[in-house]
Amino acid sequence: MIEKHIQQQFNEFNRLSGKFAPFIASIPHKRIASIGRALGMFMYGMDVRHRRIVRRNLKFVYPGWSPERVKKVSQCVFQNLGITILEICQIACFSSDDIINKVNIRGEEHLLKAMQNNKGAILITAHLGNWEIVPLFWPLHFKTPLTVVARQIQSKTINQWIHGLRTRFGSRVIYKDDALPEMTRTLRNGKILAILIDQGIKSSLGIKIKFFNKFVSATPAASLLAMRCKSPVLPGFCIRNEDSTFTIYLEAPLVLKRTGDLSADLKSNTQIMTDAIEKIVRKYPEQWFWVHKRWRKYYPHLYPEDMERRRHRRSRKKQRAQSKMSQSFFQKFKD
């Protein structure tokens, strides 16, 4: 019954997006930007919760910024999100030529040189610009699939749609749950693995490092794979240009620590990779995903509403457990 309901949701989503996406695809690129900015400003005005998160994050890492600058960049962040949402619908209807013509690439010589060792390559990246266009462009340009490590979207309907978008031209998606063996296999087969490393990790496996000189919990996956497979690690980012095109920047491989002390090397290399992310975010702050509660683990006071929701959730969970125990007790008593 649940599967039938999900399938109905998926069919409805496809039906609506099938009508909506072609309409958006027909809008000129420059119009998409202006409409997306308007959508972003609407979201900024209506979405109080995420507006607070963005502004608190910016105030936290840029204490010297004036309130006016924080507000302006916050609005730009939402405008970028609005544009990204419309672009995702638009590129879903793009031909391969449309994708090629919309994206430029800089620094591919770094990748070609790194691939000569036949150890594959790890592309570390961030939720910056429009990150969803990279797995579409990559196989068209390099004639080889890109394997992307992704987190499952809670909505199965949207997750299936996004999965189809990412794999449309041949890229592969590995989901984070139990993904390490498949990621290792990808690199040992000499392929390219892309990992988004700019968001927090919930499990106890996260490594405590600094991002914008503030403590965060970061995934050690890219560091562990680089050490295990001896694969080069290249930062790569997709930046939106003013003319509504994109530029993918590929940087030279990072110089990693290999002292033999696994714990120390994991921490050092994860910090090196995170520093590369911070460098590009500082350059394009308005294009990063500041909506994420990146500093929640070590600075929970930044998000007091989140703490309150957690308390209510735990309270409701406890009440349900107690109610279930009471029902079980009375049922046994009746029996």
For the chain, what are the domain ranges? Answer: 2-302
Q: Are 61 and 26 a contacting pair, CB within 8 Å? A: no
H/E segment holding residue 326: helix 304-334
Q: Are 266 and 220 a contacting pair, CB within 8 Å? A: yes
Distance CA 276, CA 123 (A): 12
Q: What residue type is assigned to position 131 of the chain?
A: W
Q: What SS3 string covers 156-223?
A: HHHHHHHHHHHCCCCCEEEECCCCHHHHHHHHHCCCEEEEECCCCCCCCCCEEEEECCEEEEECCHHH
Classify 230 in phi/psi space as left (phi over 0), alpha (psi -120 to 50) or beta: left
Query: What are the structure tokens assigned to 207, written together?
Result: 């490594």
Half-sphere exposure of 136 (CA within 13 A, CB side): 29
Neighbours of 332 (CB within 10 A): 8
Distance CA 188, CA 171 (A): 17
Distance CA 262, CA 234 (A): 21
Task: Write down the pTM of the prediction.
Answer: 0.85
Q: Are 239 and 249 a contacting pair, CB within 8 Å? A: yes
pLDDT truncated to tens, each residue of the chain (335 aa)? Answer: 434 443 444 444 445 455 566 677 677 777 889 999 999 999 999 999 999 999 999 999 999 999 999 999 999 999 999 999 999 888 888 899 999 999 999 999 999 999 998 999 999 999 999 999 999 999 999 999 999 999 888 888 888 888 999 999 999 999 987 788 999 999 999 999 999 999 988 767 799 999 999 999 999 999 999 999 999 999 999 999 999 899 999 999 999 999 999 999 999 999 999 999 999 999 999 999 999 999 999 999 999 987 676 666 766 776 776 666 666 655 665 66
Neighbours of 247 (CB within 10 A): 15
Distance CA 68, CA 63 (A): 13
Cβ within 8 Å of residue 24, ≥6 positions away = 32, 86, 89, 90, 93
Alpha carbon of residue 32 to chain centroid: 22
Beta strand pairing call for 103-106 and 246-250: parallel
CB-based burial, 223-232: b 16+ in 10 Å, e otherwise = bbbbbebebb
